[in-house]
Structure 1
Amino acid sequence: MPRTASPQARRRRSGDGAITDVAGIEVGHYTDTRRPTGCTVVLAQAGAVAGVDVRGAAPGTRETDLLSPCNLVDRVHGIVLAGGSAWGLDAASGAVRWLEEQGAGLDVVAAKLPIVPGAVLFDLMVGDAAIRPDAAAGYEACRASSAAAPAEGNVGAGAGAAVGKIFGIARAMKGGIGTASVTVDGVTVGAIVACNALGDVIDPETGAVVAGARTRNGKGLVDTRRALLRGEAPRPVLAGTNTTIGVIATDAAITKVQACRLATMAHDGLARAINPVHTMSDGDTLFVMGTGRAKGSPGMMVLGTMAAEATARAVVRAARAARGVRVGRLHLPAACDLA
């Protein structure tokens, strides 16, 4: 059964940039061809100061406690985003193995130990749930990594993502993975987000729904917020069967405490671009990595604003880059199909 590492996108972007615009950051995807699922790695082989903020009520994560400002280790060498629910956490083991082979990691005298936190999203309803990212997938994603602008849409951790499931998967749409960056005074903040939200994706610039729950005939968008407020009842949803996960990176020099605060502020971007967000059925988790390659910093107020902006743009790009899929009887159209 074939497995492929997705190639990096070769096209130029239309002004939104990518997380790889941050010096010291590389990204690689692995996409499983047997069903829509996969994983994405964000690497900083030289190490990056890191933080995390988990906002969803049903997260699936690895080594997030390590990133608490109270705890010892303050640098990571990679972060893994994966499909496959909790099984997908195994992909991080493959990333650890690949990074060790490159000589990257925390010097613990006896060896160099790569520090690789991660988070997963639930994509098990799209195809055969027995197929999910494993250690080999994480390793292949690392092998495919580069500083080129990463592919978006139905690749890596976004391969099996869906959005707008609040009225049932049959009325949902295809989600995906997207990336964006913002630069101010020579300092860059970039984001990569795998959007598998329970709610709708909203364009913050216009307030319009880009992708989400569809009408009963499947030909239009409901606008979940307005539907709920006028009394349309959501279908019961199993906790943890959604989740938006992502990584925000900056070349500014930041501390571990600041990295955690940036992760918190980056969630403002999710709140602008997803509605509802941070629900009992989502495990929304955002990581931050700081490479310190820039000469200065515009300060936390500006960095936080940049982080939220890059995150919101990445969410919208994830929905717009997605392409519709048919898996068995399930049809998930994409934003481009309803446009």
Structure 2
Amino acid sequence: MPHPLADDSAGAITDVPGIEVGHHTDPRRPTGCSVVIARQGAVAGVDVRGAAPGTRETDLLAPGNLVNEVHAVLLAGGSAFGLDAASGAVRWLEDNGVGLELGMARLPLVPAAVLFDLAVGDARIRPAAAAGHAACAAAGTQPPAEGNVGAGAGAVVGKMFGMEHAMKGGIGSASVRVAGVTVGALVACNAVGDVVDPENGRPLAGARTPDGRALRDTRRALLAGEVPHPLLAGSNTTIGVIATDARLTKVQAQRLAVAGHDGLARSINPVHTMSDGDTLFTLATGRAAQHPGMMVLATMAAEAVARATVRAVLAARGLALPDGLQLPAHADLHPPI
């Protein structure tokens, strides 16, 4: 039977008023980037949990620092090279009149985070400024494409026992609405661990058995004494954006990003490892008249992140590369009945 989140009922981050999403995908490798735009500005926060992050302009989101609002968040493949894509997003936003008015110029503020996908195809191909510009030009309020697109194009999950046993990751989105307030998430999942069903902990995609036909269950395998494959530092990461139409302070936005990592912990096992750079941003547009309180919002954020992470692997499609690397997707190991 299909997973309950396999259809469009999960919603999307663009259900949040004032939020747009655009992808750019480079099919040559594949790799790409994704942008979440708040044209009118959004109160922002960030929480970095992984030990190997690749980020840009996260310091300005600290609650004690001056800047209160940003205009977009960019997620990209390409490891540190992919941070260059944010420059293209800044240029597009400036050209379209979006940014902080300084008098002599309008300055778009675009924090960014990257994931490591250089092991998938030709590492010389990675998102640059033109890719960030193209992602912005493609942005809209419709539900974004999921799976092998944008920042999820080259994402892989379940690498604990080597790439030859891994599976295709991707990018996914979901939303939750309670008491007139919406919280949505966009997550690009490139985790070293397995993606698991938050309801029962069963693996959905991740490290496969030696014959490649079933899931190994990384948690159980490690606890049983199986030795993990040597991992290149920083070669994994799950990155994402939480958005809400609730009115938040900068401190509350940062706390919502913290709570979002609970969703990663429910849907990825293991998570926040020394080889992951897990980073979540928050954008609060403040368009909702209601505020259900931070306890409810935090619960909604964790739920949206967990659902979006599951969507990332359910929407992914298998990949076969010229060098012989085969990355099946969830649908390949769990065909519809």
- TM-score, structure 2 length as denominator? 0.96
Match of 1:15, SS?
A: helix
CA apart distance, 1:13: 5.3
The letter for the 2-side match of 1:56 is: G
User: Which secondary structure state, in structure 2, belongs to the residue aligned with residue 245 of structure 1?
Assistant: strand
Residues 1:161 and 2:158 are matched in the alignment? no
Query: Which residue is equivalent to 1:77?
Result: 71
SS in 1 for 2:219: helix
What do residues 119-166 of structure 1 show as CA deviations (whole Å, max 9, x unaligned)? 000000100000000000000000000000000000000000000000
Match of 1:110 among 104, 107, 116: 104
The whole-number CA distance in structure 2 between the counterparts of 1:110 and 1:274 is 46
* Pairing 1:22–2:22 present: no
Output the CA distance in 2 between the equivalents of 1:210 and 1:230: 20
1:83-141 per-position Cα deviation (integer Å, ceiling 9, x unaligned): 00000000000000000011111112211100000000000010000000000000000
Inter-partner Cα distance in structure 1 for 2:202 and 2:178 = 27
Counterpart for residue 3 of structure 2: none
2:258 maps to 264
Q: How many residues align?
A: 328
User: Aligned pair 1:329/2:324, yes or no?
Assistant: yes
Choose the corresponding residue for 2:82, options 75, 88, 92: 88
The reply on whether 1:230 has 2:219 as its aligned counterpart is: no
User: Structure 1 residue 282 and structure 2 residue 276: aligned?
Assistant: yes
Runs of 4 or more, structure 1, over 2 Å off, are none
Distance in 2, Cα, partners of 1:16 & 1:297 = 22
Partner of 1:8: none
- Cα distance in 1 for partners of 2:275, 2:68 equals 30
Give the whole-Å Cα distance in 1 for the aligned partners of 2:225 and 2:28: 40
Cα displacement string for residues 227-259 of structure 1 (whole angstroms, at most 9, x for unaligned residues): 000100101101100000000000000010000
- What is the aligned counterpart of 1:184 among 175, 178, 181? 178
Q: Which amino acid aligns with 1:88?
A: G
Aligned with 1:298 (options 284, 287, 292): 292
The residue type equivalent to 1:151 in the other structure is A
Aligned to 1:65: 59
Alignment partner, residue 7 of structure 1: none
3-state SS, counterpart of residue 134 of structure 2? helix
Where structure 2 has 5 or more consecutive residues not aligned to the other structure, the ranges are 1-5
Alignment of 1:211-226 (within 5 A): 211-226=205-220
Structure 2 partner of 1:147: 141
| Secondary structure at 2:60 match in 1 | helix
> TM-score w.r.t. structure 1 length?
0.96
Q: Per-residue deviation at 1:14? A: 2.9
Secondary structure class of the residue paired with 1:99: helix
Give a deviation string over 1:254-285, Cα, whole Å, max 9, x none.
Answer: 01000000000000000000000000000000
Give the superposition deviation at 1:34. 1.0
CA-based RMSD of the aligned residues comes to 0.9
Deviation at 1:78, TM superposition (A): 0.3
Q: 1-side partners of 2:225 and 2:38: how far apart?
A: 47
- How far has the Cα of 1:35 moved from its partner? 1.2
Q: What displacement does 1:75 show?
A: 0.4
Q: Distance in 2 between matches of 1:216 and 1:292?
A: 50
| Aligned-partner Cα distance in 2 for 1:110–1:187 | 37
Give the secondary structure class of the aligned counterpart of 2:173. Answer: strand
Alignment match, 1:5: none
CA offsets 1:280-330 (integer angstroms, 9 cap, x no match): 000000000000010111010000000000000000000000000011211
CA distance in 1, matches of 2:29, 2:216: 28
Q: How does 1:6-45 map to 2 (within 5 A)?
A: 14-45=8-39
Q: Structure 1 unaligned segments of length 5 or more: list them.
A: 1-11
* Residue type at the aligned position of 2:326: H
What is the CA–CA distance in structure 2 between the aligned matches of 1:81 and 1:302, rounded to whole Å? 27
Pairwise CA distance, 1:206: 2.6
For residue 132 of structure 2, give the secondary structure of its aligned residue in structure 1.
Answer: helix
Q: Percent identity?
A: 72
Partner of residue 241, structure 1: 235
Residue 307, structure 1, aligned to residue 301, structure 2: yes
